[in-house]
Structure 1
Amino acid sequence: MSAPQSVVRRSAGPFTGRVAVTSVMVLFAVYSVLPVWWLLVTATKNKGYLFTTNGFWFSHFDLWANVRDVFTMDGGIFARWMLNSVLYSTVGAAIGTLLSAAAGYALAKYRFRGREAVFNTVLAAVLVPATLFALPLYLMFSEIHLVNTYWAVLIPSVVSPFGVYLSRVYAADSMPDELIEAGRVDGAGEVRIFFTIALRVMSPALVTVFLFQFVGIWNNYLLPVLMLADDRLQPVTVGLAGWREQLNNGTPYNVTVTGAFLSVLPLLVAFLCLQRFWRSGLTAGSVK
């Protein structure tokens, strides 16, 4: 006997929905990966084959020669740009994550007057585009003579309203009050409880905050280009933009593309190294 027509329609409905969802996901994946693939393929080609071969497939593999040209261009300044970006991103993200964790933990676990007003101010800061702060920061830093120094980029990088918001929400949900009370009963102070217990419990959220901060600082362009006039202080984003503007004045196209490819690698390394820390349930069994 054949299945009733209504049963066939019900079984076909979920299947069609899964196919539609899968198709949309595949399109988004291709849209996201295709530019990176093009960058990888183009970075392996010599300037003589950039526009005469298929842009999405390999031919005449010259990646190592292109990398050598990148690190010898303009006296090897690309290495300095990369080190500057690593400094700004690593130090800024690390300090910013610690400050966000402390602020979020305090807003979630301590009762004090004006707590909700502070948190609402943080939410408002999340909604304000970061570009709006660039000019006021420049005017303020110029008054205290910090323009064209490392501090002009590092100090604004340690502030993360989104990090405070995420830390506050995660601490409220994952940090039991009983665990804090147990630490106090054992004689631990508030600072020790925060560094030995809270930071470990909040580690999945803090990894997320760190990665958001790291990527945001690494890709930041407007703030460094306003604050820094010395080429040796600039991050790789500003340096590559300068090379792109000089394409008609002697800077090879393949050098700029290969430099852009190399600038993406630290972001990939950061994600691959930190993804194993994304796990939940760290407090399971901590409170009996």
Structure 2
Amino acid sequence: MKAYIFPGQGAQFVGMGKDLYENPKGAELFEIANQLIGFRISDIMFSGTDDELKQTNVTQPAIFLHSVILAKILGENFKPDMVAGHSLGEFSALVSANALSFEDGFKLVIARANAMQKACEAQPSTMAAILGLADDVVEKICADIDAIVVPANYNCPGQLVISGSIEGIDLACAKLTEAGAKRALKLNVGGAFHSPLMEPAKIELQAAIEATNILSPICPVYQNVDAMPYTNPELIKANLIKQLTGAVRWTQTVENLLADGAIEFVEVGPGNVLQGLVKKVSREVQTSSATTI
């Protein structure tokens, strides 16, 4: 069985998607996107600066466009048995699996990015990557800190990203280093994604999600909040709403995809970050393979 996986924020690079514009279908979708967002995001993607591209309200729509347009160009060759996306990538997965229209998915991503940008500006916060500790050790130390800090991205065994207030992250990094973490690296991100500090963004996005028409996808979508497969539109909506303040359970998602029969993982979008994570999760499973398109 074949699993298609879609990357999230951090996979962007200047020049992304330029080759897709050369395809007539790709050019058509980019121009629709430029109209919907109100500026030529395609120009920023193809020839902008790193600083322009790394703004949350540009980065997220850009990665979504790269992933979804690539899937649309594949057309009949896009035949997933299952799909999953990392954080933002979940929206790309839903559009590619025909649960959301291109236009509705893009509008939700724009709303999500803008809401998260506002939440980041309202309260300074950050994230940190913790390497070389078991998940339960990181969870316990975070829970014992008297400040906002939570596990946010379960990326692969030995790699868990935490999220919270600047004070909480600083305290956690110190304690996790004492506990034996190989590295506790603060990330250059706009704020505390997938933490309680995103509650204002969650409230803002909830209305947009509830007003959007979501259909049954062509295959199960494994969602971030609990790493389980869904096809029911109402449950998919509820999980999308929870996603902004809930953890991305990517390790568990890959484990579940493998348990449910995935033997090939195809990454759809810029870069190959997820490919590397899949290989780390599935290192003991000799029958799996990971590719990028």
Q: Same fold (TM over 0.5)?
A: no
Of structures 1 and 2, the larger Rg is shown by 1
Higher relative contact order (CA 8 A, sep 6+): 1
Which one has the bigger strand percentage?
2
Which one has the bigger helix percentage?
1
Q: TM-score range by the shorter chain?
A: under 0.3
TM-score computed with the length of structure 1 as normaliser: 0.24
TM-score computed with the length of structure 2 as normaliser: 0.24
